[in-house]
Structure 1
């Protein structure tokens, strides 16, 4: 399997979630299963079945996070010399001509993307239009509603 880009912050968030699942959630659900077993007949014990289902979700998420981290290529954008160009991990301030608004985006890995937080996936059409451009350039993003023109106001590597 190929490496998947991930920012340092994204890797830290995944590691924190993994530690929480392994150190807190997993022991809690194991305790809940043990307590439910003490109540007797497991066939009709809703608490037992709910705890086992929760255990399945936790174990699945642990495996998912471990897989993502094992295939991650963690990129520290503060140590990359990009000469003012938009690259993976860069934070970009843009002016959108069509809406007459300014936006700030950070280009992140697919698993980190959250448009409400201003985190856009490196594989999104917007990222593909921005990557490689510099301050002052205009990126054109093709959308279902027509092209969007975004002038790059600044590029930061935070």
Structure 2
């Protein structure tokens, strides 16, 4: 059996996902069940568009419930570091390549689930288990770190900025 991957979340992201799961189980399921029951009362199910739509909605919702349950089982919640300049799960990190402050990259250290629906979908996300994520985790603004890229090359970067993620 494959090892389950840790899902890194901020406390806020964990709570949002937990609340979504609770809402789906307590409100979503009964609402969809009522739609299915109402559509059944209309008669012939083979040509009942409302019934089939409600069943599709139910399947999608049950898939999301299963996804959330698995994600929350595998979640590790990152705590806010004492030093606000320290890279931790849930921080936006700006790095510079080759000591060139003009060649920078900004990313979220954590998991894509930390991003809300309203967040910029262009935000890059690196897991703490990734080579870059592992190298910067615990480093502070101004630190130089190295990591091995998937192609085997060693890459040096400087931490230019660290900011809390307001997801």
Single out whichever of 45-54 and 114-123 deviates more from structure 2.
114-123
Query: Which residue of structure 1 aligns with residue 127 of structure 2?
Result: 121
2:136 pairs with one of 109, 130, 136? 130
Single out whichever of 16-25 and 42-51 deviates more from structure 2.
16-25
Contact 2:142 2:158 in 1 (8 A): yes
In structure 1, the gaps of 5 or more residues are none
With structure 1 as the length reference, what TM-score do the two structures score?
Answer: 0.70
1:153 partnered with 2:155: no
Could you tell me how far apart the structure 1 residues matched to 2:25 and 2:114 are? 21
CA deviation vs aligned residue, 1:82-102 (integer Å, no higher than 9, x gap): 695433333322234579344
Spell out structure 1 runs of 4+ moving beyond 6 A: none
Aligned ranges 1:15-54 → 2 under 5 Å = 15-54=18-57
With structure 2 as the length reference, what TM-score do the two structures score?
Answer: 0.68
Alignment root-mean-square deviation, CA: 3.5
Aligned residues: 155
SS of the aligned residue for 2:89 comes to coil
Distance 1:41 1:115, change over 3 A: closer
1:5 partnered with 2:11: no
Could you tell me how far apart the structure 1 residues matched to 2:68 and 2:60 are? 12
Single out whichever of 40-49 and 112-121 deviates more from structure 2.
112-121
Single out whichever of 3-12 and 108-117 deviates more from structure 2.
108-117
Contact 1:29 1:55 in 2 (8 A): yes
Single out whichever of 46-55 and 103-112 deviates more from structure 2.
103-112
Distance 1:40 1:99, change over 3 A: farther
Could you tell me how far apart the structure 1 residues matched to 2:107 and 2:146 are? 15
1:70 pairs with one of 70, 73, 76? 73
SS of the aligned residue for 2:66 comes to helix
